[in-house]
Amino acid sequence: MKIFKVIAWIALIAFVGIQFFPTDRNESDLIPQTDFMLVNQVPTSIQNQLKESCYDCHSNNTKYPWYNKIQPAAWYLEDHVKEGKSELNFNEWDSLSRRRKASKLRSIIKQVESDEMPLSSYTLIHSDAVLSKAQQTEIIEYMRQLKGEAN
């Protein structure tokens, strides 16, 4: 019986202990000149949807949920955001060459088309981020049009 108590104590203390580890928060009020919305004429409805569904992981500013204050959830989110930004950062869109833009647009189209993005682990909690079929089509059509210009 005593052993359980000890284990419980250790778990509790470890849990408290990891709360002191700092995480890099992905937050910035600055919207750089290279932002996707600034360099493209994006229709408002698509702007809103992209911000809701994509910008948390694919820009320099994440709207964090409350549980980001708690480890290990914060670590998990940090990893996701880091990976998301390394694949695509809408804030830095215009720093990409034409070739890279065309490449990224194609990936965006494919990922939205096949329901891979937004990630299901993300939409599970952010129900607003879910793209309806109509929204998907709207985004895809727009990205296709952009891609046509880039090619």
Q: Which is nearer to another protein, 1 or 14 (CB)?
A: 14
CA dihedral angle for residue 138, residue 142, residue 143, residue 146, rounded to 10 degrees: 180
Cα 151 to Cα 147: distance, rounded to the nearest angstrom: 6
CB 100, min distance to another protein, A: 6
| Minimum distance, C-beta of residue 47 to another protein, in the bound complex (Å) | 26
Identity of the residue numbered 105: L
Chain residues binding another protein by CB under 8 A are 6, 9-10, 13-14, 17-18, 97, 99-100, 103, 106, 110
Closest residue by Cα to residue 59 from 21, 85, 22: 85
Check whether the bond before 72 is cis (ω within 30° of 0): yes
Residue 145 near residue 39 (C-beta atoms within 8 A): no
At its nearest, how many Å lie between another protein and the CB of residue 124?
A: 23
- In angstroms, give the least distance from the CB of 32 to another protein: 20
